[in-house]
Chain A
Amino acid sequence: MSESLITLEHVSRTFSVKGQPIKAVDDINLSIPAGELLCLVGESGCGKTTTGKMIAGLLPTSTGQICYRGKDISTLARSDHKEYRLGVQMVHQDPYASLNPIQTIYNILAAPLRHHGFTRGEAETKHRVRELLEIVDLTPPDDFLDKYPHQLSGGQRQRVSVARALTVRPTFIVADEAVSMVDVSIRISLLKMFTRLRDEMGVGVLLITHDLALAKYFAWEGRIGVMYLGRLVEIGPARELVSHPQHPYTQVLLSAIPEADPDATRVKQRIELRSADMPSLLQLPSGCAFHPRCPLFAGEVCEKVVPQLHRAEWGSDVACHLVPAHES
């Protein structure tokens, strides 16, 4: 196992809503090796975006620490801090809101290059901008330099967002629902582009999504982590996690997804929840947060003890009292 680029140790984040504390992320432990393609999936409110933002340094943690190349990001010295801020970039969900509408594509990409001194002089900057546009498949680049964001389609804008993240030569990109606002017919080509960035430049990607099928496709050789009410409940190799889910929540999620096959989807076995209602983050259930809805609910232990991640079958780490440990 290669050394990890980013590690999260007991990371929690609490927000205050009307004076009441809300635990959005609770005790996450995660180690991300350089160049990994990782997906975080879960329903809205599960804390996946908050986790992504903390990794990108856009939100401080409440407790716990995040390390970049072994150093705690909250106490970095000036030069290390710059290295981290450039090294971890974020691509946002909405390509219509994340690009400055009154700047040309050239200016959008040239600004960070100049500011951080990656290029010197107009000629070199232009050369690098063209290169970046080619990397994200906006070709021929000269067609795009003088355009404004509104002249591009959603997919093209998202490519510009990625090119902008790449200007500062990052080692890791946090992509928050980066393809969910893009038309279905071009999502795959965007994901393929991320995979290519990894293969050619070693850039690791954390893709935050609610779509498990998409997560499996993207993290084919990487991992998928499933979050529920602020906690990581299962994390494992992508394909195994989808074909052999271990945590009951993962199993329920997978069974609920319709398949694009009229016969398969109509006979698919659905796992019923004990309760359809998502508990409020203001009043999190005791013990395992999933216990009021869990189909495997086994009484006291689930109500009282918070389960910790342990290695189960198929290489997954699972936080559930009822999934037996598996020594590999």
Chain B
Amino acid sequence: MPGLILSVRDLSIAYQARRGQVQAVRNISFNVERGETLALIGESGSGKTTIGLGLMHLLPSTAKVIGGSATYRRSVNGENASVTEVLSLKGDNLRQFRWHECAMVFQSALNALNPVLRISEHFVDTAKAHGYLRDTNALRERSLRLLSLVRLDPKRVWHSFPHELSGGMRQRVLIALALLLEPQLLILDEPTTALDILTQRNIMDVLKELRQKFGFSMLFISHDLALAAELADRVATVYAGQIIEIGDVRTIFRTPHHPYTIGLIKAVPTLTSDKSALVSVPGSPPDLIQLPIGCKFHPRCPLADERCRREEPTLTEVTSGHQVACWRWSEAREALKAYRTS
């Protein structure tokens, strides 16, 4: 049993806006097992990025963690070595947690690198700030090795400025940089969005190789179902700040039970899908300031009934490891088979 590396319980995060509180993340709970990749999938505004930022203490000043906990378990040689309460970290402990234990790769690779620093300086600065590898030669060696592991030409990249690299190269620099301090957990926020098909393929292959080599766990945040299908061991669907379905990747793609997950999978054209099989989900995501009463998906759900409009469902176990938050999950698959929108 590999054990858990991260365990999030009842996490809630809200943004303060002029109109009121934006409830971006509401009572989210999930586990990440050691060596596992968990994908959070959902549309823009579903709260998936906020979860990642919250864990890293990187929320903007208008956002606040309202409640919940996140427990990180560090392992040394396969044994659980220490337990960290992530959300209450401060000062040096927070610094130790960030990058040493858990590193984040951001979506926009251009904005994540400092434009006036060479790539080499990014590596040196990061190590210095975290008190890692004081020996300059050893640090350089490790950095160059990481750069070649992400399929970059280390000699060329080392002295470059970010603007001299293409988007895909910058994204790979960020991945190498994230791995510098040997973190055990990697949070990737849309790491291939805005990249071209072939560049995206390259990054996916790099991630798979690195995961094999280093055995780190990943929290993979994406709106792209196909990427989740390829990379994830488990998948969680996020809607209006909540996980509405979570399970093994094959279960989620083969036998999804939540009407939203079913709808999302049907709404994405693939190279092999037939035209008639595609149906978009009617309506648009809810206003996170004034959330609907009851199930947050009910205004868009073809199966919604009285109960869905009144009471909000919580995650219930369908089969071992597969949980769904829907009052009508047992009929949803059957009922939606025949369903087509105009």
Known contacts A220-B275, A253-B197: A153-B284 contact under CB 8 Å: yes
Chain B positions within 8 Å of A184 at CB level: 43, 223, 225, 264, 267-268
CA distance A270 to B264 in the complex (A): 26
Asked, given contacts A217-B278, A262-B253, A276-B151, whether A257 binds B267 with beta carbons under 8 Å apart, the answer is: no
B133 at interface, CB cutoff 8 A: no
5 A-B pairs besides A258-B229, A259-B230 with CB distance below 8 A are A186-B281, A213-B270, A217-B278, A258-B227, A263-B250
Question: What would be 28 A-B contacts, judged by CB atoms less than 8 Å apart?
Answer: A185-B263, A185-B281, A186-B284, A187-B280, A189-B280, A189-B341, A210-B196, A213-B268, A217-B275, A217-B278, A252-B198, A253-B198, A254-B271, A257-B201, A258-B204, A258-B226, A258-B229, A260-B226, A260-B268, A261-B229, A262-B253, A264-B272, A265-B226, A265-B230, A273-B198, A276-B202, A278-B166, A278-B198
Q: Does B255 reach chain A (CB closer than 8 Å)? A: no
Which residues of the other chain, B, contact A210 by a CB distance below 8 angstroms? 196-197
Interface residue? B200 (CB, 8 A): yes
A188-224 vs B: 1/0 string, CB under 8 Å?
1100100000000000000000101110110010000
State in angstroms the CA–CA spacing of A276 and B99 once bound together.
29
Tell me the A52-101 residues at the B interface (CB within 8 Å).
none
A256 at the interface (CB under 8 A from B): yes
- The distance from the CB of B287 to the nearest CB of chain A, in whole angstroms, is 10
A323 at the interface (CB under 8 A from B): no
Q: Which residues of B contact A273 (CB under 8 A)?
A: 198
Cα distance A252–B200 when bound, in Å?
A: 13
Q: Which of A188, A253, A258 touches B278 (beta carbons < 8 Å)?
A: A188
Pairwise interchain contact B271-A216, C-beta atoms closer than 8 A:
yes
How many residue-residue contacts, CB under 8 A, span A and B?
113
For B269-310 the 0/1 string (1 means CB < 8 A from A) is 111110100111110110000000000000000000000000
Known: A183-B285, A210-B197. A258 touches B230 (CB 8 A): yes
Tell whether B44 is near chain A: CB-to-CB under 8 Å. Answer: yes
Cross-chain contact B284 with A214 (CB below 8 angstroms): no
B219 within 8 A of A: no
List chain A residues, Cβ under 8 A from B200.
Answer: 256
Is the CB of A44 closer than 8 A to any CB of chain B? yes
A43 proximal to B (CB < 8 A) = yes
Instruction: For B127, list chain A residues within 8 Å (CB).
Output: none
Contact with A along B196-218 (1 / 0, CB 8 A): 11111110100000000000000
Q: A43-B196, A153-B284 are in contact. Are A216 and B269 (CB under 8 A)?
A: yes
Decide if A7 is an interface residue (CB 8 Å cutoff): no
A186 touches B198 (CB 8 A): no
- A interface with B by C-beta (< 8 Å): 43-44, 153, 155-156, 183-189, 192, 210, 212-214, 216-217, 220, 242, 252-254, 256-266, 270, 273, 276, 278
Bound state CA distance, A156 and B272, in angstroms?
29
Whether the Cβ atoms of A257 and B271 lie closer than 8 Å is yes
Please, which residue of chain B has its CB at the minimum distance from the CB of A41? B197
CB pair B229–A185 under 8 Å, yes or no, is no
- The answer for the CA separation of A270 and B227 in the assembled complex, in Å, is 15
By a CB distance below 8 angstroms, the chain A residues around B267 are: 184-188
Please indicate the chain B residues that have their CB under 8 angstroms from the CB of A153 in the complex: 284-285
Contact A259 B271 (CB under 8 A): yes
Q: Contacts A217-B275, A258-B229, A260-B268 given; indicate if A43 touches B197 (C-beta within 8 A).
A: yes
Given contacts A187-B280, A266-B230, contact A212 B198 (CB under 8 A): no
CA distance A263 to B43 in the complex (A): 24
A260 touches B43 (CB 8 A): no
Residue of A at shortest CB range from B223? A184
**Minimum CB distance partner of A185 in chain B:** B281
Tell me whether A185 and B280 are in contact (CB under 8 A): yes
Residue of A212, A217, A257, A262 near B250 (CB, 8 A) is: A262
Bound complex: CA of A176 vs CA of B285, how far in Å? 24
Who on chain B is nearest to A45 by CB?
B196
Q: Select one of B201, B253, B279 contacting A188, CB under 8 A.
A: B279
The complex places the Cα of A276 from the Cα of B199 at a distance, in Å, of 8
Chain B residues, Cβ within 8 Å of A183:
43-44, 223, 284-285
B146 at the interface (CB under 8 A from A): no
Q: Could you say which residues of chain A place their CB within 8 Å of the CB of B271?
A: 212-213, 216, 242, 254, 257, 259
Q: Which of A192, A214, A220, A265 has the most CB of B within 10 A?
A: A265
CA distance A43 to B194 in the complex (A): 11
Within 8 Å CB of A185, what residues of B?
43, 263-264, 267, 280-281
- Check A257–B281 contact: CB distance below 8 A: no
Docked complex Cα distance between A276 and B151 (Å): 9
Q: How far is the CB of B282 from chain A (nearest CB, A)?
A: 8
Closest residue of B by beta carbon distance from A195: B275
